[in-house]
Amino acid sequence: MTELDDFRAEKNEFFGAHPQSPLTREQKRNFTGLNYFPENNSLRLAVKPELLNDKETILMQTTTGGVQEYERHARFKFEVDGQEVELTIYRSEHGYFLPFVDALAGVETYPAGRYLEPEELPGSRFLVDFNLAYNPYCAYNDAWSCPITPAENRLKVPIRAGEKIFHEPPSLKIEKAPAFPRAQT
């Protein structure tokens, strides 16, 4: 078993049995585990992003109509299936945050996007491991509120790594990412 397999097994145990799981009692009764893409080493990246000079604060809308404040921190480019793409890393009081939507959204991945917490490495680099991409809690249960991925992090390529869509998706339907307003300073 790999380290990733161990991580996924622990997460399945948490989701299936822990009182703080995002699953409802009914979902837990039928829970057999989360769905994942096979491990993809080509999507485990050490990137040196371009730090953004203008640390613009934005408000990300949430699935329940609220907003959460984030700072646009850095952008990085990488290649998927021969196509160059770009993503923005955000920052909040809780750390670095990388929400993204890929071309499989609504079919194989959660329509509102998946999340990562990039790990800061020495030399102004970040570890961005898409194998650890996960669905927000609102993907399992409408009672949770989650930031909606901004338009700038919506990719036209598939990211075949990390968690797939939950087999019982909630009622959330995302047609188009809302434009994000700037925070009032």
Q: Decide if 14 is inside a domain.
A: no
Looking at residue 183, what is its pLDDT?
A: 52
Please check whether residue 52 lies inside any domain of the structure: yes
Residue 106, in any domain of the structure: yes
- Look at the chain and report how many structural domains it folds into: 1
Is residue 126 included in any domain, yes or no?
A: yes
pTM of structure: 0.87
At residue 167, the pLDDT reads 67
Quick check: is 24 in a domain? no
Q: Print the SS3 string covering the chain.
A: CCHHHHHHHHHHHHHHHCCCCCCCHHHHHCCCCCCECCCCHHHEEEECCEECCCCCEEEEEECCCCEEEEEEEEEEEEEECCEEEEEEEEEECCEEEEEEECCCECCCECCCCEEECCEEECCCEEEEEHHHCECCHHHCCCCCCCECCCHHHECCCCCCCCECCCCCCCCCCCCCCCCCCECCC
User: What does the pLDDT profile of the chain (185 residues) look like in tens digits?
Assistant: 799 999 999 999 999 999 999 999 999 998 999 999 999 999 999 999 999 988 899 999 999 999 999 999 999 999 999 999 999 999 999 999 999 999 999 999 999 999 999 999 999 999 999 999 999 999 998 889 999 999 999 999 999 999 999 864 444 444 444 444 555 54
Range of the domain at 120: 37-153
Residue 167 lies in a domain: no
29 domain-assigned:
no
Judge whether 115 lies within some domain.
yes
